[in-house]
């Protein structure tokens, strides 16, 4: 029965360890990029262009009546959402873009709310990946339900 010389076995074990740590380093670097990647308002603080309610693979678009004060109430509701902050804009400017990060991985989702005449337009979308598995839809529906509870829709 033949066996590998001890030096060859140690060399193979060393290679496996090196490959393992290289993979771990790549995963950690990828996760760091997701969490620390800059969010350029020029890319994300854009007109939602909502013409109708839409459920998309990577987000949702919604239109709702935007009576006076509705934007401000919705803004307050959105800012109560954990891990959510303003990227750009104010309700007074007529457009705000928010970044909401997932709890564990820190994936950023962007939501832009814009006053368009007597309507509010919302566009919630993911940054990384192809599908958000309904996270943006659930978040927006929660916001709109809270808004309806304050007498804010219509």
- Radius of gyration over alpha carbons of the chain, in Å? 23
Q: Is 45 helix (H, G, I), strand (E, B) or coil?
A: coil
The pTM of this model reads: 0.80
Tokens of 17: 């360890």
Report the pLDDT value the prediction gives residue 45, as an integer from 0 to 100. 96
- Which residue ranges of the chain lie beneath pLDDT 50? 154
The strand pairing partners of 97, in sequence order, are: 88, 112
What does DSSP assign to residue 110? Answer: E
Q: 147, 153 in Cβ contact below 8 A?
A: yes
pLDDT tens digits along 44-64: 999 999 999 999 999 999 999
Report the pLDDT value the prediction gives residue 36, as an integer from 0 to 100. 76
Quick one: how far is CA 56 from the chain centroid?
Answer: 14
């Amino acid at each position: 029965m033949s066996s590998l010389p001890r030096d060859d076995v140690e060399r193979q074990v060393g290679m496996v360890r090196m490959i393992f740590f290289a993979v771990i380093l790549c995963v950690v670097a990828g996760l760091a990029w997701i969490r620390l990647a800059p969010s350029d308002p020029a890319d994300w603080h854009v007109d939602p262009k909502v013409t109708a309610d839409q459920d998309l693979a990577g987000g949702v678009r919604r239109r709702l009546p935007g009576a006076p004060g509705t934007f401000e109430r919705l803004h307050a509701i959105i800012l109560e959402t954990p891990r959510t902050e303003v990227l750009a804009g104010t309700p007074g400017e007529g457009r705000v873009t928010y970044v909401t990060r997932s709890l564990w991985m820190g994936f950023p989702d962007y939501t832009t709310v814009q006053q368009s005449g007597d309507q509010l337009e919302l566009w919630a979308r993911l940054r990384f990946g192809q599908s958000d598995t309904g996270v943006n839809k659930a978040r927006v529906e929660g916001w709109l339900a809270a808004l309806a509870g304050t007498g804010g829709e219509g």
